[in-house]
Amino acid sequence: MERVKRVFRRTPSYQPLLENGGADTDHGNDWDERDGREGEKKFSWMDYLIFMLIGVAMLWAWNMFLAAGPYFQRRFQSSPWVLKNFQAAELSISTVANLGAMLLLTNLQARANYPGRIIWSLVINMVAFTLLAISTRLFTSVSAGVYFGFVLVMVLAASLAAGLCQNGVFAYVSGFGREEYPQGIMTGQAVAGVLPCIAQIVSVMGAPAKDKGNGVPEQSSTSAFSYFLTATAVSLLTLVAFLYLVARNRDKHGKKLVPDNAPAEDAVRRSVPMLTLLSKLRWLAGAVFLTFGITMVFPVFTQKIESVNPPAPDNHFPITQPASFIPLAFLFWNSGDLVGRLCTGIPALRLTSRPKLVFILSVARVIFIPMYLLCNIRNEGAKIPSDFFYLVIVQFLFGLTNGFIGSTCMMGAVDWVDPEEREAAGGFMGLCLVSGLTVGSLLSFLAAGS
């Protein structure tokens, strides 16, 4: 266990920012070993795992929407327009609602209750996905248009919940003053991307579903019910864990997450202008924006690229058929993303003290876009006819750089602002991340039309 702790223990390569002439006084068991950082809480594996669980819950809901795509196709098959446009509508509503929520919440700092935002996001998710699970058992005979409207309302609710959670958790975790906890959140998000891919591959490789007679196959309906109920369970488990996290840390810093020696504050925290945060975090903020903006091209290409090796005629469940090869490609990307986020937990690989280098690396990721063009798009032939090149060199490494650079940006924000600005900085970095996703998703339509 000590070896594992040493792997994740931070060894600062920057000049520590200390107040009061650098004096270090003891403030109890929870606030010792501060590694030279003002107000830095002692590392706790329990806190780390809870933040990782919050990261899982943050993206698990949206991944369940993606996993239930075949079920939605069955429900919308009576309306060609809805069937063709429901995925684009879901994406548009999700990104716009998420960004709008982040913009609003980032500007509401003074009386912000960040733990409350996290709690409300989890409650909204539980309600939304419970209703979605019920919809797979009841009201299955409603028209495609009515069900489409219901699904969009649920997407809107889940997107607003995601905005609440992203703003709340990145602000809340920044108050701890430790780089490891944001890395735990980012790792949890990657885990939430890997598991659904595995489930999809197993589902495709299984036996075909039998039709129940009402237009919805039994396995598809049951799978969708399981997906939605699982999202509810994950949110409930996360809520219980987070309430425990708040309770065990309240005695030291309450909802404001400040150490015992912090100056007294009134109920209203000082609002930090976004321009002030941008001036201090411009390299990391720009890097996280570019990283996730460029990343949004990968779902478009992944849906269009097929294996260069056609499935054998006598193979009933070939991994190279599009129905299984596409989830496999997603699995490689998400696995790389997970490895990249885990790598930021190794002190020797951390770049949080070199924000300009991180920005340069984020710009360099644009090289992956022409690399996709070398692959077998729409089965029209590949410039480099190799599934290994596509899955490992393109997908895995693209995911790895996304996870590594994205996590580095979120972890490093606390090092470049004053202690009283950390919460606002966390929310600001979350806004930059979501802005990158939104701009990238809109620009990805250009790639989709190519």
Please report how many Cα atoms fall inside a 13 Å half-sphere around the Cα of residue 304, on the Cβ side: 20
Burial of 344 (0-12, 13-18, 19+ CB in 10 A): buried
Torsion of CA 132, 134, 139, 144, to 10 degrees: 20
Q: Which of 112-126, 220-234, 239-253 has the highest mean pLDDT?
A: 112-126
As a whole number, mean pLDDT of residues 7-14 equals 43
Q: Mention every residue, 6+ apart, whose C-beta is less than 8 A from residue 94.
A: 62, 155, 158, 159, 162
For range 204-221, the mean pLDDT: 53
Say which range, 13-17, 135-139, 235-239, has the weakest mean pLDDT.
Answer: 13-17
CA distance 41 to 290: 31
CATH of 31-448, one of 1.20.210.10, 1.10.10.10, 1.20.1250.20, 3.60.70.12: 1.20.1250.20
> Which range among 51-65, 190-204, 390-404 has the greatest average pLDDT?
390-404
Exposed/middle/buried for residue 21 (C-beta within 10 Å: 0-12, 13-18, 19+):
exposed
Sign, CA torsion 124/129/132/137: negative
Q: What is the arithmetic mean of pLDDT over 239-248?
A: 90
Kindly state the average pLDDT of the residues 138-165: 88
Contact partners, residue 91, CB within 8 Å, separation at least 6 = 441
Q: Which residue has the higher pLDDT, 22 or 373?
A: 373
> Where do the domains of the chain lie?
31-448
pLDDT at 376 over 70: yes
List, for residues 425-439, the tens digit of each pLDDT value.
Answer: 887 888 888 888 888
Report pLDDT digits (tens) over 63-100: 787 777 778 878 888 888 888 777 767 777 887 887 88
For residue 275, what pLDDT is reported?
85
Structure tokens at 197: 């891919």
Predicted TM-score of the model (pTM): 0.70
Identify the band that residue 126 occupies on the pLDDT scale cut at 50, 70 and 90: very high
Q: Residue 248 pLDDT more than 90? A: no
Residue 449, pLDDT score: 52
> Do residues 197 and 331 touch, judged by C-beta distance below 8 A?
yes
Q: What is the pLDDT of residue 371?
A: 95
Q: Which amino acid is at 33?
A: E
H or E element, residue 204: helix 180-205
Q: What is the mean pLDDT of residues 334-346?
A: 89
Cα distances (angstroms) measured from residue 96 to each of 68, 388, 394, 398, 448: 21, 36, 29, 25, 19
Share the mean pLDDT of the chain.
77
**Neighbour count for residue 383 (Cβ, 10 Å):** 11
pLDDT grade for 372, boundaries at 50, 70 and 90:
very high
Mean local confidence (pLDDT), 359-380: 92
CA 115-117-118 angle, to 5 degrees, is 65
11 CB neighbour count, 10 Å cutoff: 9
Q: Which residues are CB-neighbours of 218 under 8 A, at least 6 positions away?
A: 209, 210, 211, 212
Tokens of 417: 């602002």
Residue type, 128: A
Helix 45-67, helix 114-135: angle, nearest 10: 30
> Residue 390 — pLDDT band, cuts 50, 70, 90?
very high
Q: Which of the two residues, 60 and 333, has the higher pLDDT score?
A: 333
Instruction: Please compute the mean of the pLDDT values over residues 162-173 and round it to a whole number.
Output: 82
Which residue, chain included where needed, has tokens 């716009």?
96
Task: Give residue 185's pLDDT band: very low, low, confident or very high (50, 70, 90).
Answer: confident
Residue 41 reports pLDDT greater than 70 = no
pLDDT over 90, % of the chain? 23
Cβ atoms of 98 and 186 within 8 Å: the answer is: no
* Model confidence at 364: pLDDT above 90: yes
pLDDT at 36 over 60: no
Distance CA 413, CA 95 (A): 24
What is the Cα–Cα distance from 258 to 419, expressed in whole angstroms?
A: 9
The mean-pLDDT minimum among 50-59, 111-120, 357-366 falls in: 111-120
The whole-angstrom distance between residue 207's C-alpha and the CA centroid of its chain comes to: 32
